[in-house]
Amino acid sequence: MAKLTGTIRITTKAGSDKSGAHFEVAFVPYSGRVSAQPVHVSTNDDLVQFLIGIRLSEDEAARWAGRARSEGVVLIPSIERTEDQLKDSGLLQ
């Protein structure tokens, strides 16, 4: 079970006719190639729960979600997780 280190990128996406406003969460590795895929989260509360699910503390998750809502794009640096943890959260295929 290999550990991957990288950045979690949270992007706020404006709504369109097909989909409403949502957050796009993606894992960007520091090195190497992985089959990463973005995860779409619809509300701020769902984003907090998703971040808690990838093992951020509740306080950190709420802080990052608030910054993503106000700033549009947020990078959470130095995230180290196993491939299985990232697959379980949907960030890897």
pLDDT average, residue stretch 40-50: 94
Q: Name the pLDDT band for 80 (thresholds 50, 70, 90).
A: very high
pLDDT in tens, 55-74: 999 999 999 999 999 999 99
Q: 38-75 as b/e, with b when 16 or more CB fall inside 10 Å?
A: bbebeeeeebbebbeebebeeeebbebbeebeeeeebe
CA 28, distance to chain mean position in Å, is: 10
- C-alpha distances (whole Å) from 67 to each of 39, 43, 84, 88 are 18, 14, 27, 25
pLDDT in tens, 5-36: 999 999 998 877 677 779 999 999 998 788 88
Phi (first) and psi of residue 4, to 5 degrees: -115, 140
Per-residue pLDDT at 70: 92
pTM (whole model) above 0.75: yes
Q: What is the residue extent of each domain of the chain?
A: 3-12+22-89
